[in-house]
Amino acid sequence: MIKNIVLGSINADFLFKVQEFPHMGQTTHCYDFMPMLGGKGGNQAAAIARLGGDVCMVGKVGKDAFGPQSIENLEKQGVDISNIIFDEIEPTGTAMGIVADNGENVIVVSKGANGNVNQADVDLIEKLLPQSHYLILQLEIPMEMVLYAIDKAKKFSVEVILNPAPAYPIPKNYFSKIDYLIPNEQEASEISGREITDLTTAILAGKDLISFGVRTVIITLGNQGSMLIRQNEARLFPAISINAVDPTTCGDAFVGGVVVGMERGYKLEEAILFANCAGAITATRFGAQPSLPQHQEVEKMFNEIKNDYVIKDLSI
């Protein structure tokens, strides 16, 4: 039984580590270079699988060398790869990331085959939906295909989890079809139209998104942790103290943690704490999928901190 479907991007990633970001027009040398396999869809599928969840990846790769490598890599992680398609025209999507020693990062993405995901590709999820709990989506494939997939999920009463990355305008009539919206603070700002500068404005942006029709909003706030916002409720989950070296894939690990936590029957608050642990461990390692933790690591941290962890109720 496939309990979770990830529909999204699959990329070849190239990570450059530098002491500090170059200025405009400046050339700088990296001191480490790491070619990896990623894409937000692939990362989230891998995160779910590594945390012990059942997951099928639906997406597209090119017929270049990175396509078969990406599929083989996901299969090794434990992801069902039977619905990944080879595109006849475009190469596999690529992403270039630059990570500075202070932990800041920038990413540039070329969509490649991800941009060619079409209705026929999305139709592959229809045979999976009757046996699924969650459909997990991002915005690295065409928006119209994301919306098309959401409509299909609703026909089968499958809950939709949307990580709106990168942020694009979402049609207002689709917010009520999203069960869990998981943006970071920048994405929440762009989608809500409200600038987030502190916890108060994060609450207000979350309330705006709830007013649009989303049932549950979870905003990741970097070194401040994450925030759960529902109707008449806002709760802060403080960040776990770690030595962060690369935040590149933390958001994908967090999404995977929420999915697996809920799949196991955790209360949503427990699932968010589990996801905080997954994101924290990921931040201590460089790279995309290689940095994602295994279930045993996250479970160990979760059990060590859960009894003393304090969730802060915030005024709404």
Hey, which residues are catalytic here? 252
| CB-CB contact of 249 with 289 (8 Å) | yes
> One-letter amino acid identity for 170?
I
β-partners of residue 235 are 228, 313
Judge residue 157's burial from the number of C-beta atoms within 10 Å of its C-beta, 0-12 exposed, 13-18 middle, 19 or more buried: exposed
**Helix H segments across 156-267?**
185-192, 199-212, 250-263
| CA pseudo-torsion sign 65, 254, 124, 170 | negative
Q: Which of 10, 33, 210, 18 is nearest to 114 (CA)?
A: 10
| CB-CB contact of 99 with 248 (8 Å) | yes
State the Cα–Cα distance between residues 185 and 222, nearest whole angstrom.
8
